[in-house]
Chain A
């Protein structure tokens, strides 16, 4: 185990639903991240949080809304998603300088949008 947990592991939702993905890290890291991994596409960085403050938003549509209440927890709120949003959503954490150090990934949430 990497010390980063994600729930749920699998999620199926309709385009009109609202759901949330949860990530928790037990490593005492200062930074947390959301990534999207679609079939046959590279891993894409979505959001970056440093000490619960958002520092990066890589042109992600507003139907994805992150929330970081503290340095250990990260949420991704989903609403009115499209079928092309179906993917593996990965959470990661790291310590120290953002994006320059080893990242610890969770197991991911496999999302299917119908």
Chain B
């Protein structure tokens, strides 16, 4: 069955460092991969979308990679700040447009 894995343990890093979050998937051939940020008690907020034929996407301090051979996406936040502390979710969409599957999310804590 389709499975998306994100590190369920919190990631603790020091302010100013680069945070790297991982999204691995199995039994899936996604056409699109999205990353969202979710703060406690709030809905997810869209960050970046990357297509299967794209290797890398950047937006300000954010960078996403998509390796369809490894079945993995990496999400990087450079020069991290305490305000970046949140849960980050990856989501995979198929080409048919009838399914969007979310991972369980990884909680990021950036310490000053």
Binding site for B on A (CB under 8 A): 2, 4, 40-45, 48, 55-56, 90, 92, 97-108, 110
B45 contacts across to A, CB distance below 8 A? 2, 105
Asked whether, in the complex, the Cβ of B49 is within 8 Å of the Cβ of A101, the reply is yes
Classify chain B's interface size.
Answer: 20 to 34
**Contacts A43-B91, A48-B98 supplied; 17 other A-B pairs, CB < 8 Å:** A2-B45, A4-B43, A42-B102, A42-B103, A43-B89, A43-B102, A44-B102, A90-B43, A97-B97, A98-B97, A99-B93, A100-B93, A101-B49, A103-B34, A103-B46, A103-B100, A105-B44
Task: Sort A-B residue pairs by CB-CB distance and give the 7 closest, nearest first.
Answer: A105-B43, A43-B102, A99-B100, A98-B97, A102-B46, A42-B102, A42-B104
**Contact with A41, one of B43, B101, B104 (Cβ below 8 angstroms):** B104
Main secondary structure of the interface of A (DSSP, over half): loop
- Count A-B contacts at CB 8 Å: 60
A100 in contact with B98 (CB, 8 Å): no
Q: Does B61 belong to the interface (CB within 8 Å)?
A: no
Q: Is the CB of A100 within 8 A of B89?
A: no
- Minimum CB distance partner of A41 in chain B: B104
With A and B bound together, what is the CA distance between A54 and B32 in angstroms?
22
Q: Which residues of B contact A105 (CB under 8 A)?
A: 43-45
Docked complex Cα distance between A100 and B4 (Å)? 17
Contacts A55-B98, A97-B97: A2 and B43 contacting too (C-beta < 8 A)? yes
Task: Note all chain A residues with C-beta closer than 8 A to B31.
Answer: 100
Q: Assess whether B97 is in contact with A43, with CB atoms less than 8 Å apart.
A: no
Q: Is B99 an interface residue (CB 8 A)?
A: yes
Question: What 1/0 flags go to B68-112 for Cβ under 8 Å of A?
Answer: 000000000000000000000101010001111111110000000
21 contacts between A and B (CB under 8 A): A2-B45, A4-B43, A42-B4, A42-B89, A42-B101, A42-B102, A42-B104, A48-B98, A55-B98, A90-B43, A98-B98, A99-B100, A100-B97, A101-B49, A102-B49, A103-B34, A103-B100, A104-B46, A105-B44, A105-B45, A107-B42
